[in-house]
């Protein structure tokens, strides 16, 4: 009897040990993550982007990738990752977002931003904010701390104050370079002569839990008038994320992106036609949009980690970091 009891005890230990061993891989089913960024599309070429400017841009994009990586590599959410990346780009004077944003016809900075959660389809956006240091944090607060999706103008600024976000004087956003450009264009007195580089910034991310998120931030169109709002803060136009399809952040001539609901159009093609993220985004940007005269590009990321970055302009500042659980790959590119 004692021998039978001993055998039974050993057998039970074996089963427990085997079960624990078998379950170990499940605790780390997926250690992969991806972050994709853009810093604007438009009249971008080696001729008008000197080597020193390219080096500065690569440094800023690399810093943004690193900020997102710090979140994702520790198992953080894709939402936190895109916010971390966008904040770095908003703080850089090199892009049309946050500090260094383009100016309105009145010589002011009016900033837009949006964020969307691919898991829940919750979203938040702000338009025309003037005192929030990082507009993307205001968009996140709208999503997390209010019952609304979008807030605009003075109301959005007041909400940001109440949420105790970092507030700055409006002059913070105006850099000497932007002011010089504003005065030059004002002398020309024609918005049609403005050859924008569409320096809007955006990020899409996939975290270890398989959740997608998208975020976009911009100063809008140079010399814009009458409280104009572009596509960036409009969910479905410049920003969208769905775990069932992909995450999208756009940059370009906003009016075309709004009329074509570009971000959601890409998602819809994946959902309803079962197109790949590459085929859907290429069709919308390089065929549908281009035929109408709409210029710009998008960054897209699906739940399998597939990346697409089509654009129909001479260039688009873009970067991505991909970790498959074993090795990391990074790419930063500007031109076609």
Segment (H or E) for 329? strand 328-335
- Kindly list the distances between the CA atom of residue 231 and the CA atoms of 18, 38, 146, 217, 320, in Å, as whole numbers in the listed order: 55, 15, 22, 10, 23
Handedness of CA 86, 91, 96, 102 (dihedral sign): positive
- Greatest distance between any 2 Cα atoms in the chain: 102
Residue 223 CB contacts under 8 Å (≥ 6 apart), including other chains: 102, 103, 104, 105, 182, 185, 186, 191, 194
Provide the Cα torsion 302, 238, 44, 283; round to 10°. 60
Q: Which residue among 104, 130, 137, 200 is the active-site one?
A: 200
- Kindly list the distances between the CA atom of residue 203 and the CA atoms of 73, 127, 212, 319, in Å, as whole numbers in the listed order: 16, 18, 11, 10
Residue 255 CB contacts under 8 Å (≥ 6 apart), including other chains: 230, 231
- Strands 307-308 and 315-323 turn out to be unpaired
Query: Which tokens in the block code for residue 157?
Result: 């600024």
Helix/strand/coil for 298: strand
Q: CA-CA distance, 172 to 137, in Å (whole number)?
A: 17
Bridge partners, residue 297, by sequence: 251, 311
Q: Is 120 a catalytic residue?
A: no
Provide the Cα torsion 286, 289, 295, 299; round to 10°. -60
Catalytic residue ranges? 200
């Amino acid at each position: 009897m004692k021998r039978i009891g001993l055998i039974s005890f050993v057998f039970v230990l074996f089963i427990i040990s085997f079960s624990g061993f078998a379950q170990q891989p499940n605790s780390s089913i997926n250690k992969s993550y991806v972050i994709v960024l853009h810093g604007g599309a438009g009249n971008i070429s080696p001729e008008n982007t000197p080597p020193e400017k390219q080096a500065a841009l690569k440094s800023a994009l690399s810093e943004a990738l690193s900020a997102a990586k710090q979140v994702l590599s520790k198992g953080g959410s894709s939402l936190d990752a895109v916010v971390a990346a966008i904040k770095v780009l908003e703080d850089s004077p090199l892009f049309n977002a946050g500090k260094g944003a383009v100016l309105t016809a009145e010589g002011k900075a009016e900033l837009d931003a949006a964020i969307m959660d691919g898991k829940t389809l919750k979203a938040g956006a702000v338009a025309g904010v003037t005192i929030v240091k990082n507009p993307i944090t205001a968009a996140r607060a709208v999503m997390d701390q209010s019952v609304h999706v979008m807030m605009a103008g003075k109301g959005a600024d007041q909400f940001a104050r109440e949420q105790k976000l970092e507030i700055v004087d409006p002059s913070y956003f105006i850099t000497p370079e932007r002011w010089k450009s504003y005065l030059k264009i004002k002398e020309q007195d024609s918005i049609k002569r403005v050859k924008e580089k569409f320096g809007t910034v955006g990020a899409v991310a996939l975290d270890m839990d398989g959740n997608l998120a998208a975020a976009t931030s911009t100063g809008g169109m140079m010399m814009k008038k009458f409280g104009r709002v572009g596509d960036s803060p409009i969910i479905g136009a410049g920003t969208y994320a769905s775990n069932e399809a992909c995450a999208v952040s756009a940059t370009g001539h906003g009016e075309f992106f709004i009329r074509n609901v570009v971000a959601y159009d890409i998602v819809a093609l994946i959902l309803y036609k079962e197109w790949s993220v590459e085929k859907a985004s290429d069709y919308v940007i390089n065929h549908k949009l281009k035929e109408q005269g709409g210029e710009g590009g998008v960054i897209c990321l699906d739940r399998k980690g597939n990346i697409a970055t089509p654009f129909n302009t001479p260039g688009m500042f873009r970067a991505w970091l991909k970790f498959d659980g074993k090795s990391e790959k990074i790419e930063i590119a500007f031109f076609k």
